[in-house]
Amino acid sequence: MLIKSTHCVLFALIFLALGSSFRLNAQADDASIRNEKYPFLRQDINVIDNNLEGLKHFYRQLDLLLSGKKRTVNIVHIGDSHIQADWFSGKVRKELQEEFGSAGRGLVFPYRVAKTNSPPDINSSSNVQWSSKRNIHRSGNMPIGISGITIQTRSSDFVLKLGVQGNENKFNKITLFTEKGPLSYNLNVSSNPDQSKEDLNPSISLQGNELSHEQAIYHEVIAGESLASIAETYRVSIASVKELNHIEGSTIYAGQKLLIKRTKILNHTPISSSQYQDYSSVATGFHSSSQFVSTVYLPEAVNTVFLRGDKNMDSQNEATIYGIVLENYEHSGILYHMVGVNGAQFIHYNNSSELFLEQLQVLRPDLIIISLGANETANKWFNGDHFFKQLDTFIHSLEQNTPHASILLTTPADALLSRQYPNENITKARDIIIDYAIRNGLAAWNFYDVMGGLESIRNWYNTGLAQRDHLHLTKAGYELQGTLLFEAIINGYGSYRAER
């Protein structure tokens, strides 16, 4: 088992000095056991290609996190059905959060309300029917946002329950990606299942485009600022800032996010997109970096939240939900957001997800992992030129909208074509992905070769790691895939530190 970070500066120094040897020893033992059990694995090539160039920004953020200069590192993992189940991405999340700390569950979606399969730790239900749309479908007038799936209802008296399992997933900060404006129902947020609309605490009640609540005000430190100058700016005492942020001395760092105060704000209008740039150093209890985003702080960390609809204007006729981020703002560590859609291809994120990129910016990703290509290669009419074009379009869109994020491309797993024939399309897609990453300064993980290459899915199936369709892995198979990716990332981080 890898050492868990306690997120204090003293431990960070010990971790940076000694942690690499402990990790490598533990991984070597695990790898030896896996070699005996799964001799077809190529663990000797389990590395991140173009690691130092492609993941430099991400590794730098991990440094800042461990040294206490940064509170949260955001990772967004984008994919298809191999990701929607969250066994693969969930294993990477678990391992990274055990290593670097957990800031919460991250982006979630009420999958069961949308009548599709859900990650095992997410529960959702509602008293009314919701329509849904995935980005693989062009029909329907619902736009697609951050989750690649959208739900919508025209019942104003809806109650939507969303819960996550595990104490490590408790949250006290909720970021809602919803449609707002005069056509949308009011949205009330509560952690109390028995609370009526009349009894809802106004501190967590979204009234159309307005909010009445207790607001947590943060300040992101810029170079040259001191505790004294920040306290003077906000008209608070230095002692209160130090107490709220558990600061013993007087040292602060550029980029550090400080909790300044909590204050009652009435009928606060969200910051518009045009205004947001002027307020980029202040993260408030309710703000919007776009017309779709609202943030609510709860008085205590919980596992379940209830969203309730309310109509008080004739124009209001629907509620639309794109996704929900669950976070514990009292903890520092990794926020690992999963975006997986059954059947998705690059073209669906390019052409059928009109709000995805705008809403992705709100997550401020430090690393974007892309696990697509399985559905393109499952088609016997696979076209390499078309695949390259869609990959290139998606990468350029990400770079334009999230310019500071590191990008890690992963190759699809081996699979059989029509459940019985070797699928050389995956070999072609692998070559395109790896070559594209190297030529464009991105990182890549060649899982196709690590798992054994062409027809290795047969070995995975025979050892209980793949399902009968010889396309999807079992829970054990996805968790092994997640472990292998985590080890490649953490070893890459060790190489990065050794090079400095």
For residues 308 and 364, membership in a common domain is answered with: no
Mean of pLDDT values over 234-239: 77
Taking 50 as the threshold, does the pLDDT of residue 126 lie above it?
yes
Asked if pLDDT for residue 362 goes beyond 80, the answer is: yes
What was the pLDDT predicted at 25?
60
Locate tokens 């190297």: which residue?
A: 438
pLDDT value at residue 195:
58
Query: Does residue 267 belong to any structural domain of this protein?
Result: yes
Helix (H) or strand (E) holding 91, with range, is helix 87-100
Q: Look at residue 481 and tell me if it is in a domain.
A: yes
- Decide if pLDDT at 240 tops 90: no
- What confidence score (pLDDT) does residue 438 get? 97
Q: Which residues pair with 261 in a beta bridge?
A: 217
DSSP tag of 127: S
Average pLDDT over residues 466-480: 97
Instruction: Return the pLDDT at 83.
Output: 98
**What is each CA distance from 165 to 123, 168, 193, 337, 480, in whole angstroms?**
8, 8, 16, 16, 22
Q: Are residues 412 and 352 part of one domain?
A: yes
Name the domain count of the chain.
Answer: 2
Rounded distance between C-alpha atoms, residue 252 and residue 221, angstroms: 8
Q: For residue 116, what are the β-bridge partners?
A: none
Q: What is the CATH number of the domain that holds 46?
A: 3.40.50.1110
Over residues 223-232, the pLDDT tens digits come to: 888 888 888 7
Q: Which of 53, 89, 37 is nearest to 485 (CA)?
A: 89
pLDDT at 283: 27
Eight-state DSSP code of residue 2: P
Q: Which of 485, 481, 390 lies closest to 51 in space, CA to CA? A: 485
Verify that 20 and 83 share a domain, yes or no: yes
pLDDT tens across 404-461, in order? Answer: 999 999 999 999 999 999 999 999 999 999 999 999 999 999 999 999 999 999 999 9
pLDDT of residue 219: 84
Is the domain of 198 the same as that of 309? yes
Averaged over 268-275, what is the pLDDT?
Answer: 29
Question: What secondary structure does DSSP assign to 438-478, as a single string?
Answer: HHTT-EEE-HHHHTTSTTHHHHHHHTTSB-TTSSSBPHHHH
Q: Which of 331, 356, 389 is the last residue of a domain?
A: 331
What's the whole-model pTM score? 0.81
Using alpha carbons only, how large is the chain's radius of gyration in Å?
23
Question: Is 182 in the same domain as 82?
Answer: no
pLDDT band at 222 (very low <50, low <70, confident <90, very high): confident
pLDDT band at 177 (very low <50, low <70, confident <90, very high): very high
Q: Identify the three-state secondary structure at position 492.
A: helix
390 and 479 share one domain: yes
- CA torsion sign for 486, 489, 495, 499 is negative
The residue among 285, 293, 290 whose CA lies nearest residue 274 is 290
Do 114 and 210 share a domain, yes or no?
A: yes
Residue 269, in any domain of the structure: yes
Residue type at 214 in one-letter notation: E
Q: Are both 362 and 439 inside the same structural domain?
A: yes
**119 pLDDT above the threshold of 90:** yes
pLDDT given for residue 290 in this prediction: 56
Task: Among 331, 346, 372, give the residue marking a domain's end.
Answer: 331
- Amino acid 216: pLDDT: 61
Average pLDDT, the chain: 85
147, 355 contact by CB (below 8 A): no
Q: What is the pLDDT of residues 194-215, one digit of tens each?
A: 655 444 333 334 434 333 344 5
> pLDDT at residue 13 above 70?
no
Contacting residues for 312 by C-beta, under 8 A, at least 6 apart = 186
CATH code, 215: 2.60.120.1360
Q: Across the chain, which distance is largest between two alpha carbons, in Å?
A: 70
Let me know: does 315 contact 50? Beta carbons within 8 Å: no
Residues facing residue 38 across a β-bridge: none
CA–CA dist 186, 307 (Å, integer): 10
Please tell me whether residues 266 and 121 are part of one structural domain.
Answer: yes
Instruction: Label residue 281 by pLDDT band (50, 70, 90).
Output: very low
Q: Residues 24-34: what's their mean pLDDT?
A: 76
Looking at residue 50, its pLDDT comes to 97
Q: Which domain holds residue 178?
A: 108-221+256-331
- State in Å, rounded, how far the first CA of the chain is from the last one: 27
Is 39 among the domain residues? yes
166 and 290 co-located in one domain = yes
Confidence check: pLDDT of 84 > 50: yes
Tell whether 464 and 453 lie within a shared domain.
yes
Q: Which domain-ending residue is among 314, 331, 348?
A: 331
Rounded Cα–Cα distance for residues 33 and 452 (Å): 17
SS (H, E, C) 216-239: EEEEECCCCCCHHHHHHHHCCCHH
Which pair of structure tokens corresponds to residue 89?
């991405």
In a domain, 467, yes or no: yes
How far CA 132 is from CA of 76, 113, 141, 157, 470, in Å, comes to 22, 9, 10, 18, 29
Whether 236 is in a domain gets the answer no
Q: Does 52 reside within a domain?
A: yes
Q: Give the least confident one: 16-30, 309-323, 353-367, 480-494.
A: 16-30
Q: Would you say the C-alpha torsion 50, 53, 54, 60 has a positive or negative sign?
A: positive
460 inside domain:
yes
The verdict on 98 and 76 lying in the same domain is yes
Which pLDDT value is given to residue 211?
36
pLDDT tens per residue across span 372-387: 999 999 998 999 999 9
